[in-house]
């Protein structure tokens, strides 16, 4: 059976932060936590870009990333191998993720801190349980 992104809906609820791993042009790794990962369709995911200085620089040099998704109900983890496609700072996808971040951050008293700069869209090239 082939694993699909639509099989992992619990990973996109924001209960447990996802993790992104990138590499610089020199091969230096960087790992960051992600506040929100959204499923765009069965081949693409979108990451909230709020504080991505080093990650964004790495993706400009090497447009690949490994993303660890976690099912907030079971704790099961999945590794997504991805290819950076584009960054969006407006439109329906941006608005959807911005609304999710606003709702989540308001619940924990961080509404004034958490502002979405962009949504980074990635093509998932491989997906497997960890």
Could you report the average pLDDT of every consecutive run of 10 residues in the chain (130 residues)?
A: 90 89 96 91 91 86 97 95 96 91 64 74 97
- What pLDDT score was predicted for residue 103? 75
How far apart are the C-alpha atoms of 99 and 105, rounded to whole Å?
Answer: 10
Q: What pLDDT is attached to residue 119? A: 93
Paired tokens of 129: 């349980």
Residue 30 is predicted with a pLDDT of: 95
Q: Report pTM.
A: 0.89
102 touches 111 (CB < 8 A): yes
Using CA atoms, how far residue 66 sits from 20, 51, 56, 69, in Å, is: 6, 18, 14, 10
């Amino acid at each position: 059976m082939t694993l699909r992104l639509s099989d992992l809906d619990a990973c996109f609820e924001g209960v447990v932060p996802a993790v992104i791993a990138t590499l610089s042009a020199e091969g230096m790794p960087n790992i960051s936590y992600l506040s929100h990962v959204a499923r765009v369709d069965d081949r693409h995911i979108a990451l909230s870009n709020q504080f991505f200085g080093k990650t964004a620089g790495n993706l400009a040099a090497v447009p690949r990333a490994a993303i660890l998704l976690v099912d907030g109900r079971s704790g099961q983890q999945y590794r997504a191998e991805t290819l950076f496609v584009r960054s969006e700072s407006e439109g329906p996808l941006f608005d959807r993720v911005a609304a999710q971040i606003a709702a989540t951050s308001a619940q924990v008293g961080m509404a004034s801190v958490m502002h979405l700069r962009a949504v980074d869209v990635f093509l998932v090239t491989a997906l497997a349980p960890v």
